């Protein structure tokens, strides 16, 4: 069901969370089901001792709207002035809870919040979480940091959606226990014990079973005739504190005003290695059109290179009307194959296969064969049509018509794409158009595809993507969507918030030390780190940068190292990168000469595996990535000073610092560069008083370093980078391969 987007941000009445999708192609408003307000239910499991996880008794009840955050029951002083807690500054929280944060299966979600009250009373705080829906609430205790900042965590173990909320209350027992430890005079201690007896007695009434009996006995003991010091120690006993925490009085507990969401994806969303190739160029003989059967012969090679995603440009019938010839000419010859992005012809459209590639059965077999090699097939979904696509006749109102009676083809002045018709998303038949587009993804999911690279998603409605991706992930939670959106930052980030799993980036045009440092800090340390997963590509069929055109082999090697080690997701337009193809169609252009977008490009295995190829270097880098968990996530990236602007130095480490990788890259493809590092040893887990071993995973060389300052020299014509694994605290010669 489609719901009209909600445009105001006012608080809503408590309801169960609405679907993430704001709208669907029916155009009807979806009903919301009102549920009971939040109530505190005291049970035998109403609280958890610090550091434990239990079923949560207080069930946050949400309210959701199409464009507002899901909220809990609004709680204010007017509602109950006895609720004195303030909860604010919750992190992570995206746009006030409007969008979910993103994690992958097995991740630990760390949550922080500013939580305080008036006066000096002690607080208790818990983090509540569950699978979205009717799963039971669980909770873990939060711990105090500094300046009223609290922290807690929970682990996401399944694909799909989780929700979480912070709950806190004034804790009289904790305040009492703190005061009891400070009283000195006997009369003060005696009075405090009488107060404690009342608190413990009430807790025994909330408890059950043996716990209730134990607490009742302890309450009596606090005011017994035994020695005062002994009774004081009973009040300060850790077991008493544990049970009082478990059976805390939560009648005045406060839930944070929003129910926050986590979108949990498959591991490939966090860590993947992409290889793009045109299946029509995979034939075993020059001049012959490749097939899916031919592609099967590539699978062992790609697996050996370390790639786990094989991405195909569109595999559909290619239009004949206004077909482009070699090098994007408007005068194709009879044998020109056209651009795969000009989708649709008499043979069919987006749910059909170009006959020259094979059959649907052949494609399904290729998908299965790829999985046997640990590779997923990714498909390019380009929402546009050739002039002879069946949609043009079947649904003429899905396109824009000009006054001369012709359909508006794609333009980006001064460029013209006469072989492509864009959809008109303002058509009155937009619901049917949306449904048809979603059915394209569903069709290929039925064929075994789980990864989609979407062409120019920023030129299609945001609302459609939010609805479509959410609906797809209800039934296919391991689906991955890569946004090919080279556009303005806010637009790219919006697509990520709406559900795109990964995104292309500006990496190809970030060349200097300052550019790379600023950009990577933005991606990995800024607010986007919670939802925007970068996928670095040094080249694509559309992008051959000046750096690669004129930098030679060192440029291809250094850009590969940067892409493979700065981000956990990266890819290459494969055969062209392996062979270091660098000739542009003309000066000042980023288009390849004899671009594979418009013609077949035969490449023999003997050339791809020959001495003029980067095959071995690519395979080595991908092995390093798979053997070092530090390189399989983006959050552990840190930059380090090095005294040369042509050298960039950064590290990646696991949270527990058991795997630490330090990378130094020469950004100058022409000349040897050297400099002294100034490492942040704390970030590396290195004792400044101890030597440490540094192993270069690219060359096999080993070094012994001391402290933060160490000399580095890189000749780009030999090896333009160090990828160093750090081993802490070697003490004898037995700890080193070389001493």
CATH number for the domain that contains residue 693: 2.60.40.1180
pLDDT bracket for residue 135 (50, 70, 90)? confident
Are 335 and 402 a contacting pair, CB within 8 Å? Answer: no
Instruction: Quote the pLDDT of residue 731.
Output: 52
* Domain's final residue, options 265, 294, 326: 265
Asked if the structure places residue 398 within a domain, the reply is no
Asked if the structure places residue 415 within a domain, the reply is no
Asked if the structure places residue 586 within a domain, the reply is yes
* Domain's final residue, options 603, 629, 655: 629
User: In a 10 Å sphere around its CB, with 0-12 CB exposed, 13-18 middle and 19+ buried, how is residue 426 labelled?
Assistant: exposed
Scanning the structure block, which residue is given the tokens 């006030």? 96
Answer yes or no: do 599 and 692 share one domain. Answer: no
Instruction: Quote the pLDDT of residue 737.
Output: 52
Answer yes or no: do 143 and 192 share one domain. Answer: no
Answer yes or no: do 118 and 232 share one domain. Answer: no
Q: Give how many domains the chain has, as a whole number.
A: 4
| Structure confidence by residue, pLDDT tens digits, 498-548 | 999 999 999 999 999 999 999 999 999 999 999 999 999 999 999 999 999
Please state the pTM of the whole predicted model.
0.89
Answer yes or no: do 154 and 231 share one domain. Answer: no
Annotated catalytic residue, options 376, 484, 634, 668:
484
pLDDT bracket for residue 65 (50, 70, 90)? very low
pLDDT bracket for residue 251 (50, 70, 90)? very high
Instruction: Quote the pLDDT of residue 386.
Output: 98
Answer yes or no: do 476 and 563 share one domain. Answer: yes
Answer yes or no: do 256 and 207 share one domain. Answer: no
Region 123-134: what's the mean pLDDT? 94
Residue 166: closest CA among 247, 92, 65: 92
Instruction: Quote the pLDDT of residue 729.
Output: 63
Asked if the structure places residue 404 within a domain, the reply is no
| Residue 713 is a catalytic residue | no
User: In a 10 Å sphere around its CB, with 0-12 CB exposed, 13-18 middle and 19+ buried, how is residue 248 labelled?
Assistant: buried
- pLDDT higher than threshold 50 for residue 236: yes
Answer yes or no: do 255 and 242 share one domain. Answer: no
Instruction: Quote the pLDDT of residue 15.
Output: 30
Asked if the structure places residue 476 within a domain, the reply is yes
Answer yes or no: do 260 and 356 share one domain. Answer: no
Answer yes or no: do 259 and 294 share one domain. Answer: no
Alpha carbon distance 103, 281 (integer Å): 37
Q: Is the peptide bond before 567 cis (omega within 30 degrees of 0)?
A: no
Instruction: Quote the pLDDT of residue 40.
Output: 33
Asked if the structure places residue 508 within a domain, the reply is yes
Instruction: Quote the pLDDT of residue 612.
Output: 94
Region 162-181: what's the mean pLDDT? 97
| CATH number (domain holding residue 438) | 3.20.20.80
Instruction: Quote the pLDDT of residue 177.
Output: 96
Asked if the structure places residue 412 within a domain, the reply is no
pLDDT bracket for residue 713 (50, 70, 90)? very high
Asked if the structure places residue 403 within a domain, the reply is no
% of the chain beyond a pLDDT of 70: 88
Annotated catalytic residue, options 455, 578, 581, 634:
455
Answer yes or no: do 545 and 692 share one domain. Answer: no
pLDDT bracket for residue 228 (50, 70, 90)? very high
pLDDT bracket for residue 378 (50, 70, 90)? very high
Alpha carbon distance 634, 653 (integer Å): 9
Region 12-34: what's the mean pLDDT? 36
Answer yes or no: do 592 and 477 share one domain. Answer: yes
- Average confidence score pLDDT of the chain: 90
Helix (H) / strand (E) element for 243: namely helix 238-246
Q: Which domain holds residue 650?
A: 637-735
Task: Report the DSSP beta bridge partners of residue 264.
Answer: 103, 160
- pLDDT higher than threshold 70 for residue 659: yes
| Structure confidence by residue, pLDDT tens digits, 75-114 | 444 478 899 999 999 999 999 999 999 999 999 999 999 9
| CATH number (domain holding residue 190) | 1.20.58.80
| Residue 352 is a catalytic residue | no
* Domain's final residue, options 576, 604, 629: 629
Q: What DSSP character marks residue 536?
A: E
Answer yes or no: do 109 and 71 share one domain. Answer: yes
């Amino acid at each position: 069901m489609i719901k009209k987007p909600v445009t105001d941000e006012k608080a809503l009445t408590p309801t169960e969370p609405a679907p993430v999708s704001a709208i669907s192609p029916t155009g009807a408003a979806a009903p919301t089901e009102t549920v009971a307000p939040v109530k505190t239910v005291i049970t035998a499991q109403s609280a958890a001792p610090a550091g434990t996880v239990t079923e949560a008794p207080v069930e946050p009840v949400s309210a959701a709207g199409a464009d507002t955050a899901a909220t809990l029951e609004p709680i204010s002083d007017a509602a109950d002035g006895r609720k004195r807690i303030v909860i604010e500054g919750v992190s992570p929280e995206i746009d006030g809870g409007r969008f979910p944060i993103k994690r992958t299966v097995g991740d630990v979600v760390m949550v922080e919040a500013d939580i305080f009250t008036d006066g000096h009373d002690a607080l208790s705080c818990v983090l509540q979480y569950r699978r979205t829906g009717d799963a039971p609430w669980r909770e873990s205790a939060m711990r105090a940091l500094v300046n009223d900042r609290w922290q807690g965590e929970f682990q996401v173990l399944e694909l799909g959606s989780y929700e979480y909320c912070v709950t806190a209350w004034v804790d009289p027992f904790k305040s009492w226990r703190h005061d009891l430890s400070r009283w000195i005079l006997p009369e003060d201690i005696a009075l405090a014990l009488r107060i404690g007896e009342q608190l413990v007695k009430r807790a025994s009434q909330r408890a059950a079973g043996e716990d209730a009996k134990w607490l009742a006995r302890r309450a009596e003991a606090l005011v017994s005739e035994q020695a005062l010091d002994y009774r004081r120690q009973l009040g300060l006993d850790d077991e008493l504190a544990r049970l009082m925490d478990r059976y805390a009085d939560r009648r005045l507990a406060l839930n944070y005003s929003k129910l926050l969401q986590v979108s949990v994806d498959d591991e490939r969303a966090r860590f993947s290695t992409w290889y793009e190739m045109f299946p029509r160029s995979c034939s075993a003989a020059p001049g012959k059109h490749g097939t899916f059967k031919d592609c099967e012969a590539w699978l062992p090679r790609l697996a050996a290179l370390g790639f786990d995603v094989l991405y195909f440009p569109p595999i559909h019938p290619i239009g004949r009307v206004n077909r482009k010839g070699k090098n994007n000419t408007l005068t194709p010859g009879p044998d020109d194959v056209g651009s795969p992005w000009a989708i649709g012809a008499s043979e069919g459209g987006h749910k059909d296969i170009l006959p020259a590639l094979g059959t649907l059965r052949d494609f399904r077999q290729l998908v299965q064969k790829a999985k046997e090699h640990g590779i997923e097939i990714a498909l390019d979904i380009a929402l546009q049509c050739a002039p002879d696509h069946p949609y043009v006749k079947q649904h003429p109102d899905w396109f824009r018509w000009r006054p001369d009676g012709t359909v508006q083809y794609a333009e980006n002045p001064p460029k013209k794409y006469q072989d492509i018709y864009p959809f008109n998303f303002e058509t009155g038949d937009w619901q049917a158009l949306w449904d048809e587009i979603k059915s394209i993804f569903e069709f290929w999911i039925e064929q075994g595809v789980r990864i989609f690279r979407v062409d120019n998603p920023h030129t299609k409605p945001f609302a459609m993507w939010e609805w479509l991706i959410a609906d797809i992930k209800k039934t296919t939670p391991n689906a991955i969507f890569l946004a090919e959106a080279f556009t303005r930052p806010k637009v790219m980030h919006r697509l990520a918030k709406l559900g795109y799993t990964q995104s292309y980036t500006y990496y190809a045009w970030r060349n200097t030390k300052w550019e790379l440092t600023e950009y990577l800090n933005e991606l990995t340390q800024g607010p986007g780190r919670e939802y925007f997963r970068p996928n670095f590509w040094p080249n694509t069929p559309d992008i051959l940068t000046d750096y690669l055109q004129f930098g030679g082999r060192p440029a291809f090697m250094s850009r590969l190292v940067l892409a493979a080690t700065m981000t956990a997701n990266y890819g290459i337009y494969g055969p062209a990168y392996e062979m270091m193809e660098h000739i542009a169609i003309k000066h000042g252009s980023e288009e390849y000469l004899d671009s594979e977008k418009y013609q077949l490009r035969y490449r023999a295995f003997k050339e791809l595996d020959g001495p003029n190829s980067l095959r071995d270097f690519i395979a080595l880098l991908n092995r390093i990535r798979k053997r070092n968990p530090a390189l399989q996530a983006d959050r552990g990236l840190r930059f380090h000073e090095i005294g040369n602007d042509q050298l960039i130095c950064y590290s990646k480490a696991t949270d527990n610092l058991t795997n630490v990788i330090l990378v130094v890259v020469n950004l100058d493809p022409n000349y040897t560069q050297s400099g002294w590092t100034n490492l942040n040893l704390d970030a590396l887990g290195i004792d400044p008083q101890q030597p440490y071993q540094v192993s270069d995973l690219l060359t096999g060389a080993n070094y012994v370093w001391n402290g933060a300052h160490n000399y580095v020299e890189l000749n780009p014509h030999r090896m333009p980078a160090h990828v160093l694994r750090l081993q802490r605290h070697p003490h004898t010669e037995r700890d080193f391969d070389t001493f």
